[in-house]
């Protein structure tokens, strides 16, 4: 159910993430279908990295690769990556996400914001 990219983010393996992303970007295929693939919980690889607190992977996607579309995705419960980072007490990830003007007032299916 999870892709190799999901597993690399779940395990915090930045080198594997970089390898996969660079191969995708070097190919002539559209990358969106791979980068934004969701698991059965509706989470992208970025959601997983935020929930696990892997700041190195979050920085890689946002600061190095400038893939800001991750900030717009919600999981099956309407959680943003900010919801997942705050729920799991990853303040360094939260700070980075806030630098990128993520909507901190977005509500999940329980009508809760990440700040609640």
Q: What's the pLDDT score for residue 31? A: 81
How many C-beta atoms lie closer than 10 Å to residue 112's C-beta? 15
Q: Is 51 exposed, middle or buried (0-12, 13-18, 19+ CB in 10 A)?
A: buried
Q: What's the pLDDT score for residue 92? A: 98
Q: What's the pLDDT score for residue 2? A: 87
Q: Which bin fits 78, alpha (ψ -120 to 50), beta or left (φ > 0)?
A: left
Q: What's the pLDDT score for residue 97? A: 97
- Alpha carbon distances (Å) from 18 to 44, 61, 65, 76, 107: 16, 9, 10, 26, 31
In angstroms, rounded to a whole number, what is the distance separating the alpha carbons of residues 38 and 78? Answer: 13
Q: What's the pLDDT score for residue 50? A: 98
Structure tokens at 23: 């191969």
- The answer to whether 52 and 88 have CB atoms below 8 angstroms apart is yes
Structure tokens at 62: 């946002």
Q: What's the pLDDT score for residue 34? A: 86
Q: SS3 for 70?
A: helix
Q: Which stretches in the chain have pLDDT values below 70?
A: none
């Amino acid at each position: 159910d999870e892709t190799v990219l999901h597993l690399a983010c779940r395990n915090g393996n930045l080198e594997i993430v970089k390898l996969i992303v660079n191969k995708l970007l070097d190919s002539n295929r559209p990358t969106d279908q791979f980068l934004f693939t969701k698991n059965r919980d509706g989470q992208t690889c970025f959601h997983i990295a935020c929930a696990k607190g892997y700041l190195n992977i979050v920085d890689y996607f946002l600061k190095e690769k400038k893939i800001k579309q991750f900030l717009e995705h919600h999981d099956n419960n309407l959680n943003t990556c900010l919801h997942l980072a705050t729920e799991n007490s990853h303040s360094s990830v939260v700070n980075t996400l806030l630098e990128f003007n993520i909507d901190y007032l977005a509500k999940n299916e329980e009508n809760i914001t990440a700040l609640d």
